[in-house]
């Protein structure tokens, strides 16, 4: 499979990249290439030009600023999964990144590409949603920041405007007595998520649930925030019975996705099972 002809640009700065994207509307950003190149080879996409952002130093790396962790858009899954800073401040993200694809995919694929592509079967959208991440973006009209909950719009559709580049993902650092878990029911051949459950819980001094998050990949056309389940858990003892009851009563999957791999009904059932398991694992980790 051979892609249609395209021009290739490799800018050295974000400004140059924005300029190149502005000059030709049929230009696409190239990051790790592990989603874009396959779709170009299948001729499902045939952009006139690619702007390879892989050599822009300011887009790469992991740093702390204040109480948050900032991860540059071209930071790879391998770097995220193996970063001590990410494991300490956002272990959920490290756990999700470490489960993506195989080693080759983890060496090349980037957090920015994963999120911008917004494939419902990808692993990072639910993780950044559960972590209440802020997504920093630059484009022809300057910089702006979006919450993860505003970013994922629909199947492979985000709130990025034409010509915009996702530059960094900012995550509030974990504090207090908290725990998280990312559990994936994966397609056995590709490793993509038929269902990925991202859970976070924080406990107060008495061990009561102070806050909770539960989000899913793979079951809906875009990352699903099970906010009603989380709300039902706040103030509870987070016992197995409480978690089971909250998920059974409050987890609804609007329009669950069905395809040749799994029906919508089956995915919704997996979400119920994996949602409970992820919350219990997060609770156990929070309790230490």
Ligand X SMILES: Cc1cc2nc3c(=O)[nH]c(=O)nc-3n(C[C@H](O)[C@H](O)[C@H](O)COP(=O)(O)OP(=O)(O)OC[C@H]3O[C@@H](n4cnc5c(N)ncnc54)[C@H](O)[C@@H]3O)c2cc1C
Member of 9, 34, 213, 276 binding ligand X (CB under 6 A) = 34
Asked if residue 60 binds ligand X (CB under 6 A), the reply is no
Q: Which two tokens stand for residue 157?
A: 């559709």
CB of 260 to ligand X, least distance (A): 17
Return d(Cα 220, Cα 271) in angstroms, integer.
10
Q: Closer CB to ligand X, residue 117 or residue 283?
A: 117
Member of 182, 185, 192, 274 binding ligand X (CB under 6 A) = 192
Q: Closer CB to ligand X, residue 119 or residue 170?
A: 119
Q: Which two tokens stand for residue 18?
A: 């924005």
Beta-bridge partners for 72: 168
Asked if residue 165 binds ligand X (CB under 6 A), the reply is yes
Q: Which two tokens stand for residue 224?
A: 């699903």
Measured torsion, CA atoms of residues 259, 265, 270, 275, in degrees rounded to the nearest 10: 120
Q: Closer CB to ligand X, residue 69 or residue 124?
A: 124
Stretch that binds ligand X, among 141-149, 186-194, 225-233, 261-269 (CB under 6 A): 186-194
Asked if residue 119 binds ligand X (CB under 6 A), the reply is yes
CB of 206 to ligand X, least distance (A): 38
- Which residues of the chain form contacts with ligand X (CB under 6 A)? 28-36, 38, 53, 73, 100-101, 105, 109-110, 112-114, 116-117, 119, 122-124, 160, 165-166, 190-192
């Amino acid at each position: 499979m051979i892609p249609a002809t395209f021009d290739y640009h490799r800018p050295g700065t974000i400004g140059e990249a924005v300029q190149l994207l502005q000059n030709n509307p049929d230009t696409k950003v190239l990051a790790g290439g592990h989603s874009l190149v396959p779709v170009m080879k299948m001729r499902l996409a045939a952009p006139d030009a690619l702007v390879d952002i892989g050599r822009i130093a300011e887009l790469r790396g992991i740093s702390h600023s204040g109480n948050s962790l900032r991860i540059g858009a071209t930071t790879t899954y391998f770097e995220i999964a193996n970063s001590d800073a990410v494991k300490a401040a956002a272990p959920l993200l490290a756990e999700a990144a470490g489960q993506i694809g195989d080693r080759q995919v983890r060496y090349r694929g980037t957090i920015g590409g994963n999120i911008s592509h917004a494939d419902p079967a990808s692993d990072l959208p639910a993780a950044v949603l559960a972590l209440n991440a802020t997504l920093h973006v630059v484009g022809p009209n300057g910089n702006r920041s979006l919450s993860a909950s505003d970013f994922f719009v629909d199947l492979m559709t985000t709130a990025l405007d034409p010509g915009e580049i996702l530059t960094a993902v900012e995550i509030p650092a974990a504090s207090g007595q908290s725990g998280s878990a990312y559990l994936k029911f994966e397609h056995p051949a590709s490793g993509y998520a038929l269902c990925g459950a991202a859970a976070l819980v924080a406990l107060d001094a008495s061990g009561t649930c102070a806050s909770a998050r539960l989000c899913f990949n793979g079951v809906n056309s875009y990352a699903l925030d099970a906010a009603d389940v989380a709300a039902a858990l706040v103030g509870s003892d987070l016992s197995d019975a409480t978690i089971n009851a909250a998920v059974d009563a409050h987890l609804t999957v609007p329009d669950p996705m069905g395809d040749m791999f799994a029906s919508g009904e089956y995915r919704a059932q997996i979400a119920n099972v994996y949602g409970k398991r992820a919350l219990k694992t997060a609770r156990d980790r929070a309790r230490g």
